[in-house]
């Protein structure tokens, strides 16, 4: 050992990152991915996986595995090996996006235009920015040869926006060994939400389940000129209306108690007390609409506190003058943590009555990561360094992500993709919305805390 300068443990573990260079690299990767149209369907994720990410990782001496169930629908997994003293951390994302109508956008959705301090493009928030952050993090740790106590895995999936059948669900079924991890970090977490004059950063710890149903009503067929009450279309319409009138069931689940409680504490005073009362069904119905800035936010909160059913597709008849014998509807039902598929069907049955057939088309269980752990603590610390005035909270999302199959493999799954958003830019509005864009400054900050979090959590 050199007797004058002892480099010490910390110096060896904490390389002096060239932040400017890493940030430019991540931004460049993000723009390249945004310029590829991966609207799903048809997806075409191979245009990013096979043509951008795989060659990039190989050039750096890594060995990515690319797997597909269907031509053009590639998934990629790459691993940095640790010494095995702890179990792996998995970072995951998807590179498919939902459709964008260019006529409704201020800038073309697949050009990655930089304007007004933002990069504009479909996927800038959901979720090519997270993939760029995850890949850049892995590359930085690899290049600096940071010794790791656990494997760091990055998985980039296809097909999330259509339910993941060609992506995470298929890969978890066919190659679970590639994805098995103690912890998994994905989308939908750690972005700024402005509420009541404060900035909150929700870390996603729970997501609702889904039960997709097909309802069928039957009746006496006949001529349209001689209507009777025994009409499948009417019967189905009554069932759909009964489901749509109000949510199926209220419950303040543990993740919502934690989330609303933290919001109330953060706001304090009478405002905090009103927010806390939302955990009871009657105040929620009375106050919900008045409390939130817009109907969309009120609906989002309502979805987090109820089992819900939304009729989304209808089918009946082939001729205007012929009463059909059958009518059907697809219903998108979402379940709170703790609710089962059978429990949900019972609720639907009570609403629609006994003469409607109910068939389950697809289902996915809710996810809830309970309690605390070192990674959750580290994420809260990361948010404090991202935005010292921000408040970290845990939350539940009403949608679903690739976390479902990964949680089923045993991982503690979180949504964590740190991003500072100014008050005028709403994460919820941009998610699948028009003019999706990411503030460059917020992305740079997010990358720094993300890389530091992963280095500290995986480093020896
Ligand atoms: Zn997404």
Give me the pLDDT at residue 203, please.
97
pLDDT in tens, 161-216: 999 999 999 999 999 999 999 999 999 899 999 888 899 999 999 999 999 999 99
Residue-range definition of the domain harbouring residue 84: 8-193+371-386+395-458
Cα 256 to averaged position of ligand 1 atoms, centre (Å) = 22
H helix or E strand, kind and range, residue 134 = helix 128-143
147 and 237, same domain (yes or no): no
Cα 94 to averaged position of ligand 1 atoms, centre (Å) = 7
146 and 13, same domain (yes or no): yes
71 and 125, same domain (yes or no): yes
Cα 201 to averaged position of ligand 1 atoms, centre (Å) = 18
Q: For residue 76, which of 101, 103, 46 has the smallest C-alpha distance? A: 46
How far is residue 351 CA from its own chain's centroid?
30
Phi, psi dihedral angles at 125 (to 5 degrees): -115, -35
345 and 379, same domain (yes or no): no
Integer CA distances (angstroms), 241 to 123, 202, 214, 296, 378, in order: 35, 34, 15, 21, 46
Give me the pLDDT at residue 209, please.
97
119 and 222, same domain (yes or no): no
Cα 400 to averaged position of ligand 1 atoms, centre (Å) = 9
Query: Per the domain annotation, does 275 fall within a domain?
Result: no
Query: Per the domain annotation, does 203 fall within a domain?
Result: no
Query: Per the domain annotation, does 48 fall within a domain?
Result: yes
CB count, 10 Å around CB of 404? 20
162 and 227, same domain (yes or no): no
Cα 98 to averaged position of ligand 1 atoms, centre (Å) = 9
Rounded CA separation 197/213 (Å): 41
Give me the pLDDT at residue 19, please.
96
Rounded CA separation 26/353 (Å): 55
Query: Per the domain annotation, does 288 fall within a domain?
Result: no
In terms of Cβ atoms closer than 10 Å to its own Cβ (0-12, 13-18, 19+), residue 342 is: exposed
Which mean pLDDT values do the consecutive 10-residue runs of the chain (460 residues) have? 42 75 98 98 98 98 98 98 97 98 98 97 97 98 96 98 96 98 96 90 97 97 94 97 94 96 92 88 72 77 95 96 98 98 98 97 95 96 94 95 97 97 83 93 96 96
Write the DSSP string, 25-36. HHHHHHHHHHTS
Integer CA distances (angstroms), 297 to 100, 195, 257, 292, 301, in order: 22, 11, 18, 6, 6
CB count, 10 Å around CB of 87? 15
Cα 170 to averaged position of ligand 1 atoms, centre (Å) = 17
Give me the pLDDT at residue 120, please.
98
User: Residue 226's domain is classified under what CATH number?
Assistant: 3.30.70.360
3-state class (DSSP) for residue 91: strand
Q: Where do the DSSP E strands lie in 144-291? A: 152-157, 183-186, 193-195, 198-207, 209-218, 222-223, 249-250
User: Residue 189's domain is classified under what CATH number?
Assistant: 3.40.630.10
């Amino acid at each position: 050992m050199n007797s004058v300068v002892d480099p010490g443990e910390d110096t060896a573990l904490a390389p002096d990152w060239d932040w400017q260079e890493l940030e430019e690299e991540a931004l460049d990767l993000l723009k390249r991915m945004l310029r590829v149209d991966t609207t799903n369907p048809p997806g075409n994720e191979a245009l990013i996986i096979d043509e951008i990410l795989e060659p990039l990782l190989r050039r750096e001496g890594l060995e990515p595995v690319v797997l597909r169930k269907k031509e053009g629908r590639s998934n990629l997994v790459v691993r940095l090996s640790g010494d095995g003293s702890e179990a792996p951390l998995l970072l995951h994302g998807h590179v498919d996006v939902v459709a964008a109508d260019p006529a409704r956008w201020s800038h073309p959705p697949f050009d990655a235009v930089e304007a007004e301090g933002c990069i504009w493009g479909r996927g800038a928030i959901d979720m090519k920015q997270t993939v760029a952050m995850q890949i850049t993090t892995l590359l930085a740790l690899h290049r600096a040869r940071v010794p790791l106590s656990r494997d760091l895995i990055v998985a980039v999936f296809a097909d999330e926006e259509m339910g993941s059948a060609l992506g995470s669900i298929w890969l978890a079924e066919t190659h679970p060994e590639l994805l098995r991890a103690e912890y998994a970090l994905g989308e939908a977490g750690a972005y700024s939400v402005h509420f009541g004059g404060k900035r909150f950063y929700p870390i996603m710890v729970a997501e609702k389940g889904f039960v997709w149903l097909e309802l069928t009503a039957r009746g006496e067929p006949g001529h349209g000129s001689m209507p009777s009450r025994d009409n499948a279309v009417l019967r189905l319409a009554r069932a759909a209306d009964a489901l749509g009138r109000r949510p199926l069931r209220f419950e303040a689940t543990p993740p919502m108690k934690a989330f609303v409680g933290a919001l109330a504490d953060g706001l304090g005073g009478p405002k905090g007390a009103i927010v806390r009362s939302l955990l009871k069904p009657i105040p929620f119905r009375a106050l919900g609409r008045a409390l939130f800035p817009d109907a969309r936010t009120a609906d989002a909160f309502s979805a987090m506190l109820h089992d819900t059913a939304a009729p989304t597709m209808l089918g009946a008849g082939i001729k205007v003058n012929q009463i059909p014998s059958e009518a059907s509807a697809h219903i998108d039902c979402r379940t709170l943590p703790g609710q089962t598929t059978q429990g949900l069907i019972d609720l639907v049955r009570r609403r629609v009555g006994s003469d409607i057939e109910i068939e389950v088309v697809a289902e996915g269980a809710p996810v809830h990561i309970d309690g605390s752990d070192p990674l959750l603590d580290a994420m809260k610390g990361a948010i404090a360094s991202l935005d010292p005035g921000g408040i970290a909270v845990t939350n539940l999302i009403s949608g679903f992500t690739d976390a479902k199959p990964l949680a089923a493999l045993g991982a503690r799954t979180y949504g964590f993709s740190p991003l500072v958003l100014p008050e005028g830019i709403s994460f919820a509005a941009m998610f699948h919305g028009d003019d999706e864009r990411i503030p460059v400054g917020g992305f740079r900050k997010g990358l720094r805390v993300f890389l530091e979090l992963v280095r500290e959590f995986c480093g020896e």
